[in-house]
Amino acid sequence: MKIVTIVGARPQFIKAATVSRVISVHHKDDLKEVIVHTGQHFDEKMSEIFFKEMDIPEPDYNLGINSMSHGAMTGQMLEKIEELLLREKPDLTLVYGDTNTTLAGALAAVKIHIPVAHVEAGLRSFNMHMPEEINRVVTDRVSSLLFCPTPMAIKNLKAEGYPNRLYDGKEQKVLCVGDVMYDAALFYSGRVQKEPDILKDLKLKKGEFVLCTIHRSENTDNRDRLKEILLALSHISKSIEVVLPLHPRTGKIIDSDVVLKDIASTLKIIEPVGYFDMISLIMSCQIVMTDSGGLQKEAYFFKKYCITMRDETEWIELVEHSVNFLAGAKRDTIISIYENISSREFVDSNGLYGDGKAAEKVVESILKYVG
């Protein structure tokens, strides 16, 4: 049996690494995996380093599609993915998350009647202004296997009438398998250095810095929101170092604006980092501040409070358990939440994302479906 796995962005590399490892270690005689990298994240620090560090097999195809509008990018991906799916003739196409890569892979496959499996199905922000929300909603609708990371994701799908009947008359299978990113955190954290080089290189001390990332278009494409976030970070940086691994796109926006660039100069801006360096920074920081979906969970995995600079989150269970705090993009709100939790001891809520065997359940379900 053969599957085509389609990835293109940092979080997808991490998720795919767990599933690819299960296939190669336990099912290499049963299942052939063909990996397609769309090129959505093309920077070496955003892409290649993850394949090297995490022992992900080199992609069989690299489409090199990036730096375009949503429509142009998705359209080109659709065209190229369709070509290679017709060539490879897989039994199933596997997609992850909520990016343009996810949507293009799912649409290309289902239009030529290849079943789709969606890892991280059922997540909802209920904000249709987010490209990611559109991507995940459409991908869920055309997928045959919906692998949900949490009971909340199952609840969301049930509220929308899932499972549905698909084009071939079969009913979709909705399964709660846990979160493959939790699998990755458990497996790869054992490889992290006790005294990480990145802390020495950046002259950082454990517990004495805040880790922050900003990349969502709702923040970066809205100057007022981005300015408010940067002003909040600048204020916080007066009392503790704020480390900001800067996404290339966010960096270009800041560099093109004199005011934003001046505010950002108060922060410790660094190049994007690989997975192990990021884990090291999460494990060593005081608090995480982000608009990234994946980093919200990674903060929880490593027992760090997270301030989410968005108006909503798909990971509502983290908010309900008071380990993640929605701040929006208001300077005073961000600062107030930080001051309230900066000295608070982390209170763990175990078992929110499964038992660390999500990837095994994904592969077993795929084998059963296509077998």
Which residues are known catalytic residues? 215
Picking from 20, 21, 18, the residue whose alpha carbon sits closest to that of residue 5 is 20
Measure the CA–CA gap between 310 and 305, rounded to whole angstroms: 15
**Per-residue buried b or exposed e for 74-109, using 16+ beta carbons within 10 Å of the residue's own CB:** bebbbebbbebbeebebbbbbbbbbbbbbbbbbbbb
Measure the CA–CA gap between 181 and 220, rounded to whole angstroms: 25
Neighbours of 205 (CB within 10 A): 9
H/E stretch holding 281 reads helix 275-284
Angle between helices 293-301 and 275-284 (to 10 degrees): 60
Measure the CA–CA gap between 242 and 41, rounded to whole angstroms: 25
Measure the CA–CA gap between 275 and 198, rounded to whole angstroms: 12
